[in-house]
Structure 1
Amino acid sequence: MFEKKDLSRRVWLIDEGRGVFILLMVLYHLFYDLVFIFEVNLPVFEWKATGYFQLIIAGFFVFISGVSSRFSRGNLKRGVQCFAFGLLMTAGTWLFLPSQIVLFGILHMLGISMILFGLLKPILDKIPPLVGLIGCVLLYFVTYHTQTGTWGVLGWQIGLPTGWYTTDFLFFLGLPKPEFWSSDYFPLLPWIFMYLSGTFAGVYVKNRQCPSWFYTPHSRVLAFLGRNTILIYLVHQPIIYAVLYVLFALMR
């Protein structure tokens, strides 16, 4: 069921931001299913701008998740639960839609990131928030092309050893074999740095150092959705698939 919490200390803009981005993610997955499962010809999905749009949605969602971790006293528990939901997603796609199997998606990545943050928080707290924020953003862009074998930024680039991409077990780091496939793929490199950048930004948010409109409600509907993003993420794909399956069956 949807959670009921004391909302008196909520940072409304975080909840509302998550609500916006979970809605955009649902919309993206609707079009993804139309194109790649039901084979509808939608040229817009082939535009580069659409890929950037998906990347921006995911980036902000991961960043906000990092900010939110500053407000939790149980990141280890939350991380284990989130990773377990990711495994449930893997099992569900493997059993019912193997062509779209999710081996290491956003829930897996967020789960491990929460666990690592919970374990490393005493060390991370010794880093000045601004230094940590800038450093993690830089590391995100440096490691962004890990999957394709390079690290670099602003014209500087190094190639990674090809041997790193020959094992079956390092795909979670962003080192997949050439034949690796996951319909939703968010490896730790580079995404953990986007998450950690959010945790450093979260220091300022938690300390009430942001403008006052961060902390006042603007849309209770979006905030409600934002407080229940995990549940929405888990159920939206089966619902979308079921509705589209019925519609296309009726149209035959």
Structure 2
Amino acid sequence: MTARWGALDAARGLAVLAMVVFHLIWDLGHFGYIERTIPWSAPVKAFGHSIAFAFLFIAGASLVLAHRNGICWDAFWRRFAVVAGAAALVSVGTYVVFPSAFVFFGILHCIAAASLLSLPFLLLPWSAALAAGAAFFAAPYIVASSAFNSHWLQWLGLGTVEPLTQDWRPLFPWAGAMLLGVAAARAFVPLLTFKVQPVARGRKSALPFLGRHSLLIYLLHQPLLFGLFTALLIVAPPAEDTRDFIAACERSCVDEGSTQAYCHSFCVCTAKEAISGKALDGARDDAERGRRLQEMARRCMAR
């Protein structure tokens, strides 16, 4: 028997599946197989936020379960080193692929930092973790300031400008999700200890299996998806369709006060330049693609 809890592993496994779906949507947009604005739409962003919350909340509950009989320092530091090392690997890998928008404080960075912050709350009443979690979620709305916009302080999440990065889970508010997980586990685990039995390691249920290997899946699934989509570009490249781009461009242009006729001409011009001139070919990342689109827009505006 193992000290792992099947229900918690299953919950983490469900979050893993949701994460893969979310990144599949992102990759479809990045490679042009769906409208590129879809991954940045409000519903998809909300989906991503809910997945991040789930991972952090479960990590907090897991921390309580792992140390419910007293903090096991060797196990804690070993796990911390694994997560921090994986976070560093993500930063290096995304810098190679997206140098202008690499991940410098994503979900793994937040889990590592929040684990340190959560340690004292393993010894305090559950209400202390609940209050701290609520404070972390409230802080960006109360103490946000441009003083935190410095590159060296952006990871706190208390600035007024969101940095350009592929995964952004700053300490405030996201560490609050882990603290809420700590609070929930501290409050309810004592009530469940005598009712729920640990699961046997030998069982092969799909969701608990995914949950037990969530870190490995997190590290491998995007490189695999990128490789598959890169190969797919050669075999079946996406058709160039500018209708959605033009429609979104026109809405934005009209909202800024220009006439419908001007906006239509301007947006059609920008779309034609982007496709006919292959001006976006070779762009290293979304940030460079955005800069090139802005340059094309300025040329069309001058005409």
- 1:220 Cα offset (Å): 1.4
Residue 17 in structure 1 maps to residue 11 in structure 2 = yes
Query: Is 2:9–2:212's contact at 8 Å kept on the other side of the alignment?
Result: yes
Letter of the 2:214 partner, please give it. Answer: T
- 1:208 Cα offset (Å): 5.1
Residue 50 in structure 1 maps to residue 47 in structure 2 = no
Query: Is 2:12–2:58's contact at 8 Å kept on the other side of the alignment?
Result: yes
Alignment of 1:1-252 (within 5 A): 6-7=1-2, 9-38=3-32, 40-41=34-35, 45=39, 47-72=41-66, 73=72, 74-98=75-99, 100-117=101-118, 120-121=119-120, 124-129=121-126, 131-143=127-139, 146=140, 150-151=141-142, 160-165=144-149, 167-175=150-158, 178=161, 180-204=163-187, 206-207=189-190, 209=192, 212=195, 220-252=205-237
Letter of the 2:57 partner, please give it. Answer: F
Give the share of equivalent positions with the same residue, in percent. 27
Query: Is 2:61–2:184's contact at 8 Å kept on the other side of the alignment?
Result: yes
Q: Alpha-carbon deviations, 1:16-55, whole Å to 9, x = none? A: 0000001101110111111134463167545433222221
Cα pair distance change 1:12/1:43, threshold 3 Å: same
Letter of the 1:12 partner, please give it. Answer: G
Query: Is 1:168–1:177's contact at 8 Å kept on the other side of the alignment?
Result: no
- 1:245 Cα offset (Å): 1.1
For the residue of structure 1 that corresponds to 2:192, the secondary structure is: coil
Give structure 1 stretches of 5+ with no counterpart. Answer: 1-5, 152-158
Letter of the 1:162 partner, please give it. Answer: S
Give structure 2 stretches of 5+ with no counterpart. Answer: 67-71, 238-303
Q: Alpha-carbon deviations, 1:203-233, whole Å to 9, x = none? A: 2454352794686699811101101111110
State how many pairs are aligned. Answer: 228
TM-score under structure 2 length normalisation: 0.66
Query: Is 1:168–1:176's contact at 8 Å kept on the other side of the alignment?
Result: no
Moved more, 195-204 or 185-194: 195-204
Cα pair distance change 1:69/1:220, threshold 3 Å: same
- 1:59 Cα offset (Å): 0.7
Q: What RMSD, in angstroms, separates the aligned Cα atoms of the two structures?
A: 2.8
Bigger Rg, structure 1 or 2: 2
Q: Alpha-carbon deviations, 1:169-218, whole Å to 9, x = none? A: 01111145747321101111111111112122222454352794686699
Q: Distance in 1 between matches of 2:174 and 2:84?
A: 15
Q: Alpha-carbon deviations, 1:99-150, whole Å to 9, x = none? A: 5521111011111122333xx43xx245321x1343134224313xx2xxx3
